[in-house]
Amino acid sequence: MSALLPGPGISEDLLTVPQVMARLQLGRSAVYDLLRTRQIASITLGRARRIPAHALTDFIRARLEQDAA
């Protein structure tokens, strides 16, 4: 599991669902659908869902490439 965690000196920003909603300009249900279908990677901390910033960036990049094709 340590391979999934950032190493020393690497800061990984974790976003909340409302932050992802704001960045994507989507509603709560739409964001949770993206998380449920694993289109955007997330982690669960207790009852809270957090989205690594790189996961959101990867999702946006993939959608841009998909739309360009």
Assess if residue 36 is contained within a domain.
yes
The pair of three-digit structure tokens given for residue 8, joined into one six-digit string: 């020393």
Q: What pLDDT, on the 0 to 100 scale, is given for residue 27?
A: 98
Centroid of chain to Cα 58:
8
DSSP 8-state symbol, 4: G
- Could you give the CA distance from residue 46 to residue 57 in angstroms, rounded to a whole number? 24
Assess if residue 29 is contained within a domain.
yes
- Could you give the CA distance from residue 49 to residue 13 in angstroms, rounded to a whole number? 13
H/E stretch holding 14: strand 14-15
Q: What pLDDT, on the 0 to 100 scale, is given for residue 12?
A: 73
Assess if residue 57 is contained within a domain.
yes
Domains in the chain: how many in total?
A: 1
Assess if residue 43 is contained within a domain.
yes
Q: Where are the alpha helices (DSSP H) in 1-69?
A: 17-24, 28-36, 53-68
Summarize pLDDT for 29-62 with one digit per residue, the tens: 999 999 999 999 999 999 999 999 999 999 999 9
Q: What pLDDT, on the 0 to 100 scale, is given for residue 2?
A: 44
